[in-house]
Each structure stands twice: as structure tokens, then as C-alpha cells.
Structure 1
Amino acid sequence: MYQMYLKNLLDRLLALVGTAALSWLLILLGIAIHLDSPGPIFFRQKRAGKNGTYFYIYKFRTMRIDTPHDMPTHMLNNPDLFITRVGRFLRKTSLDELPQLFNILKGDMALVGPRPALWNQYDLLVEREQYGANSVRPGLTGWAQIHGRDELPIRQKAELDGYYVHHIQLKMDLECLWRTAGAVLRQDGIHEGRLEKQQMKGAKEVVKVGK
């Protein structure tokens, strides 16, 4: 019942309250971005949504306008060349994600769900399909986010996302939101550059589904 009827309603209601409460912050951050570097305040990017649909995600722009498009930041060889001064602060605090409240209000996203993959991240999307993780609206945060974020191999991300999809409940969403706040404060699992191949090969699969 929660997943079918209440989740979407609560997501939009909380997003509306959050947008209104944080409107002053959204305005201040927009001004800072405008003064810091030329280009738009918001960044739009094509992402994979529910059941194979696509939508455009909103973020505060944190990089120069000549940054390679449709490439995850952790895959860039030297992202420091592209990240702006204000952008560095926004990314460390995850404040660049705040405009996704508008995506939630539109119904493209949920507060909690698998993080929306880029439209061309086929390896992740194919892996998620095996666990049924493409069948729900992507989220502002998710079960994989609080279990490693960028540090997780693709298969492990998909497995954690699948676990969430098959166990959606209010208690789980509240736990995700609470633990996300702590992870943001600690800046857990954030990588701004290309992960070393050797590190990825040697990564131990220590994250257990559901813990």
C-alpha cells in the first residue's frame, strides 16, 4: 500500500515543503554560481527513469561549460580542471543536488530510489534490469548511496538497488534519508576522478545486501 499509494504523495509533499523552506538558499546559491563562472545556473542532463523512460535531471552547475557532457565525474581523468570554485563547495556538501526537488515535484524522481543513471550507462542499466531496479522512479538518494556510493562496483550497486525495490517501505525510506544526511556530512564515498583500474579489480565485495 505504501509503495502504490502513499510514497509518491509523500515524496511530492515533502519536496514542496523542502523547496519552500529552502527557497532562500536556492536563490543565494544561484547568485553565487552566476558570479563565479560564466554559464547557466542550472545543469540539465538526460537520465534513465522508470521503466526505460528518460527525463532531464536538474542540478546546480558545478563545472565549466566546456566540460565533456554525458560522462560521470568520477570517469574524468582530471576533474579538477573543470570544477569551479563554488562548484567544489557544492559537490562536497551535496548542495548541487537540491534542484532535484523540482524533479520530484514533476514526478520524474522520488526522495528514495536507485540513483538515476546516465542514459548511456548501459552496463549499469543492464545489471539493474536483472534485479528489477529499473521498475521504480529513481531517487534523490538510495540504498546503494548509503552503502558505498561511488566506491561500489556496478554489480554491487545493482544488487543493492534491487534489494531496495523488493523491500520498499516507509521505515526503509526514513532510514535512507537519515543515513544519507550522515553520509553527506562525512562526505562518504565521493570520488572526483577516474577510479584506478587496479583499485576496481581488487575491491573486495564486503557490502552485504540489506545491511
Structure 2
Amino acid sequence: MAAPVNPVPSTEQVIEQHLAECGLDRAGFTVRYEPDLQSIEIVIGPKAKATNDQFACIQKAVGYEILTFSNGAMQRAYLDYTNELARPQVLAMARSQLEKEGLLADFPERQNFDSTSLYAQALEKHCKLVPGKALTTSGNDIAFQPNPEEALNMKAFTKKYSCLLLAMQYAGALEREVKFGFIGNEAYSEEGQ
């Protein structure tokens, strides 16, 4: 009689096991493949009893899958954690690209401007754009919000804004007190879905 064969655990089961090993309560999180996302999605709720001290373990457990904390404050803290991990790589890549394109010299630094608004305008001017036309500010947040009609010609849009997007990437990694983001059209969804 042949010995019973142990089935190979699914990726979802492996992630669940690793999250439990991180100290998360299994009743507080879900791990499942989402066809619409074409990825595994992990949702961690309050019942999982996750803490900021577990972020390294959680990040290792989920790898490149989609992770969402149902608690907004915890989600922001986790994003801050992962952004800080990626910061040196992003900074080096953006610095190299800016230098290659001759845009690193005289790059605007936030500390040299009295307001976030003036800093945003300096970033636009550095990229030879009309200040105040593509970036909007609110507090310490800077958002890329060009005229939506410009995106109709993607080639022209990319040519016009490639410098600014690179500058935002570099400044976002360089300047910790300023947050950069994008404002665009939300995907259409039928009510109730």
C-alpha cells in the first residue's frame, strides 16, 4: 500500500500560514485570488490584531500580492513603511535619470520656498512648464492635475509631462514632509457594484 501523498499547499494557503506566523489572528484576515484583479488580494481587518511592529513580517509574507488594511490609519502607516523601504532605490533611479537629462543641476529644494505652492510652481518651472498649470497644492500635498483634454494625445502628453513626473518622483523620495499624488478620473462603475 502506497503512503498517502500530501497535497501541495496553494499560494493562498502559504500566505495565510506566513501571516499567522507573523502573529496575526486568522479570523481577522482573508487571502483569496480575485479574478478581476488577476492577483491574490489580502485584506487585514482589526480582528487580525496587526501592529506596526509586524509590518516587516507581513510585507515578506505577502510579497508582491495586493494588500489592504481595512483600517485607513493602518493602511497609511503600512504604505509609509513600504515607501520608506523603496525610497533609496527610487531616489537613485530618479537622480540618475535627471542627471542623464541634464535636469539635476539647480533642482528645486522645498526648504528654499516659503510655501508648498511656490515649491510646486518651481518644479513646473524647472521642467519648462507654465507654473500653476499642472500641479495643485493643499497643505503639504502636491497633486498632478493637468487639463484632462491634454491626455487625448498621449504622445504629446508624455513628451510635455515626462520631466515633471520624473521631478515629482525624485522630489517625493527626497522631500519627506511633502506628499505627491495624482488626481484623475475615477473608473466608471454601476451603482451597487
Q: What's the TM-score bracket when you normalise by the shorter of the two chains?
A: 0.3 to 0.5
Question: Which structure carries more relative contact order (alpha carbon 8 Å, separation 6+)?
Answer: 1
- Relative to total residues, which structure has the larger strand share, 1 or 2? 2
Greater Rg by CA: 2
TM-score, structure 2 length as denominator? Answer: 0.34
